[in-house]
A and B are shown apart, each in its own frame.
Chain A
Amino acid sequence: MATPAGPRYREALNQALREELTRDERVMLMGEDIGVFGGAFKVTDGLLEEFGEKRIRDTPISENTIVGLGVGAAMTGLRPVVELMTINFALLALDQIVNHAAHIHYMFGGQARVPLVVRMPQGAGHQLGPTHSHCFEAMFLQVPGLLVAVPATAADAKGLLKSAIRDENPVVFIEHESLYGVRGEVPEGEHLVPFGVARTAREGSDVTIVGISRMALTAERAARTLSEDHGVEAEVIDPRTLRPLDLDTILASVRRTNRCVIVEEGWPHGGVGANLAALIGEQAFDDLDAPVARVTGADVPMPYSKPLEDIAYPHEPQVVAAALATLNRTAAV
């Protein structure tokens, strides 16, 4: 496949940050090694030079406190964007994200707002073992008060990040480590992607495949294989945000295809797919010709060893097999 044109995912994020920093004086960035170092994944590269130390702040390694600073600053008029180096480190900040950022608007009777964005990358594939490689979107998805974004393309990374920064609510913005280097077309000019609107990546009438975060791309590849090798036309939906969730688009698709496969990199129990399968079961049970299928990460801490890591998160062949199974077919050619 030819390399697509356009900026890399990380460059699209960088553009979003640069544009919003330029547009709004209140926007400021905090995080570990985001300034002088340019970001552990180079997302913030060049921003310190352009916007200065007041707005681009290297922090000590104090995740919970960095997010808490963001909460306080957001309550009193700034639009902070906090970078956490990986989603596993966000667990150190769960107190500020859940007990504080998510609940302050509600528990203080609507008096205060927390327009804070907390960015973090997730995902396996780089042999970083059990403390740097997980996918926790399901954990954040559960929390009322948070918005949760899981962009899979460069265009969505940029458009959703700009929307997140402009939103009045706290946003957990989940990037994917393995996507930072992937190029994609990004529309010229002001590009905003609204929350709560799914992207239909591919149309099809035989089965609906919902892919979360990087798995949206895995689902697209699986759909091509299904078409080319099996004559099955899959519709691929990338929800792009999990809170709010564009369930309407997913239900409308399921009502046409009567089959659904949900693909996520996170754990199976209490996962995004578990939640979505319940919602589809509740609202489209009569339209289903097969049980909703899930392809998920293995129910294990992420192992280091390459062959083990490879089988601990989903790949295209499993998605193909799961889609065929909803049609009572097997992958055997």
Chain B
Amino acid sequence: MADSPPTDSRPREDALQAREWLETMTLIRRFEERAGEMYARAKVGGFLHLSIGEEATIVGAARALRDTDYLISTYRSHGHALVRGTPPENVMAELFGKVDGCCRGRGGSMHMFDMARRFMGGYGIVGGNLPIAAGIALASDYTETDEVTLCTFGDGASNQGTFGETLNLAALWSLPVVFMVTNNQFGMGTALGRHSAVTDLQRKGESLGVPGMRCDGMDIRDTYGVVCEAVAKVREERRPVLIEAITYRFRGHSMADPEQYRSKDEVARWRERDPLSVYGRQLMDEGTITAGEIEQLDAQAIARVDGAVEFAEASPFPEPSDLYDDIYVLGESSRGWYSVETTEDREEGSAASGPEPAVNDEIPQQLTSALAAGEDGHEPGDED
């Protein structure tokens, strides 16, 4: 389909849901702001990609899912963990690299994960999550459940090989995946029109047998409505759909981004459509919520995030002895942490090191005798 159908046929949120949506969007906003501050104070290392501006896309899409459905995301994944219910304390502790982080400090900002809540991860490789999403959907299909997988990725990922490969395979095998391209207008610092020949991204699946839909990713109602429709279709018909959510990130690609590729005016124009204030006003106009209640809800989010920072501060760093934990699932084949199975001269927890391997002399290559007959076991009729 070329464009979204009229919204009146779509499911609408009730007052309770509306409040929760606004609450969760606010939590993500306040969390991201504090994460940015903590980064500036060097509490958070590495790269930090914030999703400020994309809250409606995140919450609207995730709320269209059942708890048993899977969500899988990218390196911009704090909001996806939070929307699925991972406590902000554990997400913040992960940013701090602490043991109480949701991945025990192993993944950091780009690699959030919460198996119990079926948040199947943030992935640092652009496009790396698409095949995995299809694999999760394959398992759902194989075990004859009606679970759906929602796979989000950025506009930049729509140029990766895995995009075409995965959409083709998902369509070919009728896999229940909702692919959702979060079009925030930039692949890092490269504007959409400079990185994709087709900028109408919802159409990029057409030649692969995946129909497209579009939603206004700044409008949580529209996002929710379109994703609900897609999820229902995918659940029922067991075949993939591609949704393009049009959105914008208000902050840079990461904290290390001077944003020379876009104008302040452009950012200001998009900020007028801030998904939080727009939705808040909408709910006030409709009499669902009062300005005071919104203030209260914001204060609660700030308090929760403050608590998360305190929690992350207080949580210890992992012990050096944890370094080798969870490389392997230990069992018959992997009895120890180290790849070399020896008990000699090796202390638990010490990394193996040694001098550079010597380079051997040139190996004499002339053959002194004919090869033994059948040496390589190659037989007529073997494929080669």
Contacts and interface: CB of A to CB of B under 8 A. Distances in A.
Interface of A: 9, 28, 40-42, 54, 57, 59-60, 62, 64-78, 80, 95-96, 99-100, 104-113, 125-128, 144-145, 147, 163-164, 167-169, 177-182, 194-196, 214, 218, 221, 241, 243-248, 251, 268-270, 273-275, 277-279, 281-283, 291, 293-296, 298, 310-312, 314-318, 321-322, 331
Interface string B164-185: 0110110011000000000000
Interface string B125-164: 1001011111111111011000000000000000001100
A77 B137 CA distance: 11
Nearest to B345: A283
Interface string B356-384: 01111001111111011001111100111
B123 interface: yes
Contacts of A251: 342, 344
A269 B173 CA distance: 42
The 4 A-B residue pairs whose C-beta atoms are closest, nearest first, are: A72-B135, A68-B131, A182-B377, A126-B384
Contact of B168 (A60, A72, A99, A247): A60
Contact of A110 (B104, B140, B142): B104
Contact of B376 (A110, A111, A125): A125
B6 interface: no
Contacts of A59: 169
A247 B354 CA distance: 16
Contacts of A107: 103, 106-107, 111, 113
B56 to A, nearest CB: 27
Contact of A221 (B132, B341, B372): B372
B131 A277 contact: no
B169 A65 contact: yes
Nearest to B172: A60
B327 interface: yes
Contact of B142 (A54, A244, A312): A54
A145 B327 contact: yes
Interface stretch (B22-30, B256-264, B330-338): B330-338
Given A68-B128, A72-B136, A274-B358, 5 more contacts: A68-B132, A70-B135, A74-B135, A78-B139, A95-B128
Given A275-B357, A317-B367, A65 B131 contact: yes
B357 A65 contact: no
Contacts of B367: 310-311, 315, 317
B312 interface: no
A99 B128 contact: yes
B334 A195 contact: yes
Interface in B109-132: 111, 113-115, 120-121, 123-125, 128, 130-132
B128 A109 contact: no
B339 interface: yes
Contact of B377 (A99, A178, A312): A178
A178 B334 contact: no
A64 B132 contact: no
B342 A167 contact: no
A82 to B, nearest CB: 10
Contacts of B166: 62, 65, 68
Given A95-B125, A321-B364, A64 B333 contact: no
A244 B138 contact: no
Contacts of A100: 123, 125, 128, 132
A261 B336 CA distance: 27
A107 B142 CA distance: 27
Nearest to A180: B382
Contact of A181 (B103, B326, B377): B377
Nearest to A317: B368
B363 A298 contact: yes
Interface in B293-330: 325-329
B331 A167 contact: yes
B384 A296 contact: no
Contacts of A99: 124-125, 128
Contacts of B287: none
* Max count, chain B CB within 10 A of own CB: residue among A74, A214, A277, A315: A315
25 contacts: A9-B377, A64-B165, A68-B135, A68-B162, A72-B131, A78-B142, A99-B124, A99-B128, A105-B329, A106-B327, A110-B325, A145-B327, A145-B328, A147-B328, A168-B331, A178-B376, A181-B377, A196-B341, A244-B341, A248-B342, A248-B344, A268-B360, A279-B354, A314-B363, A318-B364
A72 B111 CA distance: 15
Contacts of B378: 125-126, 178, 181
B16 interface: no
B342 A310 contact: no
Given A72-B139, A78-B138, A128-B384, A214 B376 contact: yes
Contacts of B165: 60, 62, 64-65
B131 A64 contact: yes
Contact of A147 (B105, B131, B334): B334
Contacts of B168: 60, 62
A250 to B, nearest CB: 9
B207 interface: no
Contact of A293 (B107, B329, B360, B384): B360
A24 B161 CA distance: 33
Contacts of A247: 340-342, 344
B101 interface: yes
Interface in B270-310: none
A281 B106 CA distance: 33
Given A65-B169, A248-B342, A72 B134 contact: yes
